[in-house]
Structure 1
Amino acid sequence: MTKDLLINFLFILLSLCLVQMVYLVKYVYRLEEIKGWVIGIFPIVSLILCMLLPVALEKSFIWDLRWIPFILGSLIGGFRLGFSQLLLVLIIRYLQGNDVGFYVTAITHIYIGLLAIFLSKYYLNMNIKQKLTLSFALTLFALSSSAIVSIHIFHVKIDSIFWTKYVVIHIIGMFISTLLWEVIQTNFQVLQKLVKAEKLQIVSHLAASISHEVRNPLTVSRGFIQMLSEGEATQARKEYATIALQELDRATEVINDYLTFAKPAFDIEENININEEVQHAVNVIIPLANMNGIQVKLSLVEHHHYLAKGDKKKFQQCLINIMKNGIESMENHGEINIHLDYKDTTLHINIQDEGAGMTQEQINRLGEPYFTTKEKGTGLGMMVSYSIIKGMNGHIHVTSEHGKGTCFSIILPVQAYKKKLISNTLSLT
């Protein structure tokens, strides 16, 4: 019996390990969809395993370590998780049969569960010593209540030696489980602080980069304006003024690039003919491809010119950034294939290269400032590209195989289309 009780306790430890793994996966892969429901893994999985593989004293009664996850889950998760656990316990115990055992379970778990749910709002604000004391007290109260109800109401005979082992293992199990849960929560809080620290570091890098990029054209403009004030010839003054204006425009463009990341919405929104803009971006990128010995293949196999909402110039910038990265990922040979496809009211622009490829961890970090796989890259181009597509209510899906290439799929909602029969495949070199 002691061995079976210890196996029950291993089920509880297993579920705690699962929670820790999910938290680590959430941090490593930046999975924002994994949120508060993670805490439900520990009590729910533990309850199911403990009750399906219980320690049976005799045919008329069943014992297991369900009190540990039941009490901790109610204290940690509050009403929603506590009520879900109570319902789960009653359903499983009813299906296991035996009226006496079910009645004991129903009586004890209902009022212990309600008590734990009531105390949960205080439990979360306690320190570790107070939490251990409360969980210890609730465990003793629950075990005592079960014994009293079983012996005095339903006249169930309990072996005193086994009961002592049962209580001891319960107390030790509750102590260890409470400590492990606090360690897991503390580790997760540390990981969250690390994420915030990374974001603060990114902000500092952005501030330094903006000040550096904007200072250069402003310094040039100041110098030429100073020369204008010194009374040069008319033609020279015009040249100085032109250069000063160009540099000021460049400073404005730098600021706009950073604002694109911070605020994806566009000041000018228009209908963009996707086919035409892709063709234009390909024409722009052809000289760079020729310099690197790369063949560009464009495939437009559609019967309509599809339109999407956005800023035409920024969309071109996004396409050129992604195509340029694909070309630079290949070493003086290979192909880059651009293909348009229409699926379920969305337009897919697939840009496939034959470059070095990326790992899944690198893919998950694409779009972060100052993350790049290139030796001299800054990551700002890809950051801006992701923001532009997000501002068009689309998203970018990336698939890659290390050593074989990467495919960027830009997925955009289609606003309308112009009917125009085209069916061509262009090979551009």
Structure 2
Amino acid sequence: MAGLYINQHVLNNLFYILVTIFAFSFIYDHSRAIRQRPLYGQALLGACLALAAVLCMKFPIYMDPLCVHDFRQIPFLLGTLYGGGAVGAVLFVVLMLARTVLYGFQPLTLIVYAIMFAIAAAASPLFRKLPQPSKLVMSLWLTFLLAVLTTFVAVIVADFPVTKPYIVYFIMMPPFVMMFAVYLMETLHEAQLARAELMKMEKMQIVSQMAASISHEIRNPLTVVKGFIQLLQTGRLPRETEERYIRIALEELERAEAIIRDYLTFAKPAPKETEPIDVATQLQKVLQMITPMAHMHSIHVSSSLEHGVVIGNVQYFQQCFLNLLKNSIEAMPNGGTLHVAAENRGASVVITISDNGVGMTKEQVRRFGEPYFSTKEKGTGLGAMVAVKIIEQMGGTWTIESAVQKGTTLTITLPASRLRPPTAEQSAAG
């Protein structure tokens, strides 16, 4: 028996309803303007469900001289219950116009859907406050009772003949289709809320990790400074010891300052002051800054730098590669070789940093640049994190090839520019 009534036309009507529900959810979820303005959300809901209702009427389940039937009441009731009287009124007008254009005006249709609209609009405030299980039950019984009520009205007003297909398609099937549509709407809405809550929790977790890491890393050098100042207050130390204590205290303060600087670089937005940067020139300056540290660790530094131009902030560019080169040096505690190369490849400038240090595991490579992850025992991970953010701000990408005890090669690709960097005289004049 079910096969006689669940035919292709029924499935087509279901398809129109489900597709428009998914379309509404997708557009709503990906448009901040619609989410922030309830009126826009109601307009979108009305437009999507009006389309479903018109498609259901255009391709009905069955037609006879007395009745053209389809599932148009499902999107109509759905929009009225979720959108209230305003959306319901728009859908009511669209239904009447579409019915008149497609099949001619029918006063009985006007009466039936006016009754549905009045009752559904009155039930809408209560419906929207209910939890999901109660909404499912209410949608099922409301649709069924409205079908029975409007059938009695049709019989009394127009002596409407109640046939078996009418009972199946207008009274029996719609309540279950309505309940399924409400379940789908609620499930999609819950998924949106869950994703928003997950993003909020992730942000809170990052903030928590950031606060804990910064607090821990700054407390350590400040504790050292406090201890040495307390020792200096005794006033009974040799001059050389006092100078050594002061030097250590100053070094610890500089370390705390560097941690704060890296944190601020990561936290604040991208700088507005950008200009053409000669990659070879700026990398050469960074290498000059890093060479003393490399010599202290018995590391040989080599380079092959082609002149190429990228757009960015010079200070941040230097800081980015200073952090990356420091990481490479610290990865070679027993000495080694550090090579830096820059070359032009069409529309990109490619910079590679290679070392033969301790290398990284696949997990460490995957987490490179992640907030507060470091391969060093006393590292904060802020240096790599800052470098990765600067690369992304410049529109670049990065990849890592590494093997444990064999070394690491970091490749940074930045978009090239045809602009010329300012000369030394221009920079001085600026």
- Map of 1:333-344 to 2, 5 A cutoff? none
Unaligned runs of 5+ in 1: 421-429
Alignment deviations for residues 124-148 of structure 1 (CA, whole Å, 9 cap, x no partner): 3233465346534653576468758
- Map of 1:362-381 to 2, 5 A cutoff? 369-370=371-372, 380-381=382-383
**1:246 maps to which of 244, 251, 260:** 251
1:212 equivalent in alignment to 2:216: yes
Equivalent in the alignment of 2:405: none
**2:197 maps to which of 193, 197, 202:** 193
Cα offset, 1:169, TM superposition: 0.5
TM-score (structure 2 length as normaliser): 0.62
Aligned-partner residue type, residue 3 of structure 1: I
**2:168 maps to which of 141, 165, 169:** 165
Structure with more contact order per residue of length (Cα contacts < 8 Å, sep ≥ 6):
1
Aligned-partner residue type, residue 317 of structure 1: Q
| Maintained 8 Å contact 1:90/1:106 | yes
Equivalent in the alignment of 1:317: 319
Q: What SS does the corresponding residue of 2:68 show, helix, strand or coil?
A: strand
Q: What SS does the corresponding residue of 1:274 show, helix, strand or coil?
A: strand
1:72 equivalent in alignment to 2:74: no
Unaligned runs of 5+ in 2: 36-40, 331-335, 403-408, 425-430
CA 1:243–1:148: 2 relative to 1, 3 Å? same
Alignment deviations for residues 133-166 of structure 1 (CA, whole Å, 9 cap, x no partner): 653465357646875887788x696552112112
Equivalent in the alignment of 1:62: 68
- Map of 1:13-412 to 2, 5 A cutoff? 14-15=18-19, 18=22, 36=35, 40=45, 43=49, 46-47=52-53, 50-58=56-64, 62-77=68-83, 97-100=102-105, 116=120, 120-128=124-132, 131-132=135-136, 134-136=138-140, 139-140=143-144, 143=147, 159-166=162-169, 167-230=171-234, 231-264=236-269, 274-275=277-278, 276-277=281-282, 280-281=285-286, 300-301=307-308, 312-320=314-322, 369-370=371-372, 380-381=382-383, 383-385=385-387, 394=393, 396=395, 398=397
Q: Matched residues in 2 for 1:63 and 1:327: separation?
A: 77
| Maintained 8 Å contact 2:79/2:87 | yes
Q: Matched residues in 2 for 1:285 and 1:244: separation?
A: 23
- Identity, % of aligned positions: 28
Which structure is larger by alpha-carbon Rg, 1 or 2?
Answer: 2
TM-score (structure 1 length as normaliser): 0.62
Q: What SS does the corresponding residue of 2:63 show, helix, strand or coil?
A: strand
Q: What SS does the corresponding residue of 2:269 show, helix, strand or coil?
A: coil
| Maintained 8 Å contact 2:391/2:397 | no
CA 1:151–1:131: 2 relative to 1, 3 Å? same
CA 1:319–1:176: 2 relative to 1, 3 Å? same
RMSD: 5.9
Count of aligned pairs between the two proteins:
388
Q: Matched residues in 2 for 1:414 and 1:78: separation?
A: 57
Alignment deviations for residues 206-227 of structure 1 (CA, whole Å, 9 cap, x no partner): 2332232112212222232233
CA 1:127–1:232: 2 relative to 1, 3 Å? same
| Maintained 8 Å contact 2:371/2:385 | yes
CA 1:301–1:398: 2 relative to 1, 3 Å? closer
Q: Matched residues in 1 for 2:167 and 2:382: separation?
A: 65
